[in-house]
Structures are given as C-alpha cells and as structure tokens.
Amino acid sequence: MSTPSPTPDVTGHGLPWWRLIAFVALFVALQAAWSAAQDGWLWRLWVETLNVDVTVAAISALAPELGAYADGARIRAPGGGLNVLQGCDGAELLWLISAAFAVAPLPWRWRLGGWLTGLLLVWLLNIGRITALFFAWRHDAQWFDWLHNYIGPLALVVLLALYVQWIMQRAPRPHAEAPVGYG
C-alpha cells in the first residue's frame, strides 16, 4: 500500500516561492533601471510631462487664482510650489504593479488588461497625490510631511494591493483535470 502523493495546486492560485522571488527580482531590476535613467527622455516624459504638467492642469482647474505653472520637474506658484524628485515621482508604484502582474497566476488577457489598467490607476493616483501635496505644502508644512512621508505612500500601496486582489478575484480560474482512476 502506498501513501497518496499530495495534490498539486492545479489552480495556480497559490503563492509558490518562485513567484515571490521573481516579484522581488523584477521590482529591484525595474527600480535600478529607473535610477539609471534619471534625467533621460523617459524620466522627463514621466516626471515632467505626465506628472508635473498634468498636475499643474489639475491645480489650475481647482484654483486658477494661484497661478501655478510647470517648470521642468517643478510646480511653481507665487507663495510656494513643489519639486517632484526621483523617489517622489510615483515610479515605484509602476514597478510594483508591473512586478505583481508579471508573476500573477492569471490568463494572459487578464494579466495584460490588469497591468495596463493598473498603470493608468497608478498615474491617476499619483496626480492626485502630487496635487494634494501641493495644497498641503501651501496650507501647513507639518501636514505636508505627514501626507508625503506616511499617509500618501501607505494609502497608494494599499489601494494598489486592493486593485490587484480585485482583479485576482474576478479572473477565471483554470479547471483542475479530473483524476484518472485505475482499478
């Protein structure tokens, strides 16, 4: 009489160690590449065009009397503005969502759709975060520090984790094959 072998996770919804290792390795590689790209065309596109220019448009829509304008990676306005530096540009969120969907046990269409929608979500959340930081800086420097250092980063990571979980819950699950019986 033999001992039955453990049933493998045929659904692919477990978290094997290789997924965790691949997630961390991919995140670190993307972050290293981003650090090397500082001040390059891709960095300027993300920081200056997609973040600062769009944030200035949002600020101008909310409070046109402030006279906010973009100056490279800076949001300038009479009475105070912001510098969007590497590390504060939200790129780490892009790498988190990219690494998460790269290793997620999802069908490729769900993986691609979740990733692309996640990139849009990251961008929109980052615009909201930078806009909030701009107004917080002008209102109360202590509130700005809390929002910049603690509340904002934690809230964004939690929102992205909830988004990934939401996609994982809705994605179709692979069907396990029926066991072949001998006897």
Closest CA to 114 of 49, 167, 60: 167
pTM of this prediction? 0.82
The answer to the question of residue 180 being in a domain is: no
Amino acid at 94: L
Confidence band, pLDDT 50/70/90 cuts, at residue 141 = confident
- Per-residue pLDDT reduced to its tens digit, 149-177: 999 999 999 999 999 999 999 998 765 55
Structural domain includes residue 183: no
Please indicate, yes or no, if residue 177 is contained in any of the structural domains.
no
H helix or E strand, kind and range, residue 83: strand 82-83
Predicted confidence band of residue 13 (pLDDT cuts 50, 70, 90)? low
Question: Could you give the number of structural domains in the chain?
Answer: 1
Its domain, for residue 51, covers: 17-170
Could you tell me if 172 and 107 are in contact, meaning their C-beta atoms sit under 8 angstroms apart? Answer: yes
d(CA 103, CA 150): 28
Q: Is residue 9 part of a domain?
A: no
Decide if 1 is inside a domain. Answer: no
Report pLDDT digits (tens) over 96-132: 999 999 999 899 999 999 999 999 999 999 999 999 9
Number of C-beta neighbours around residue 8 at 10 A: 9
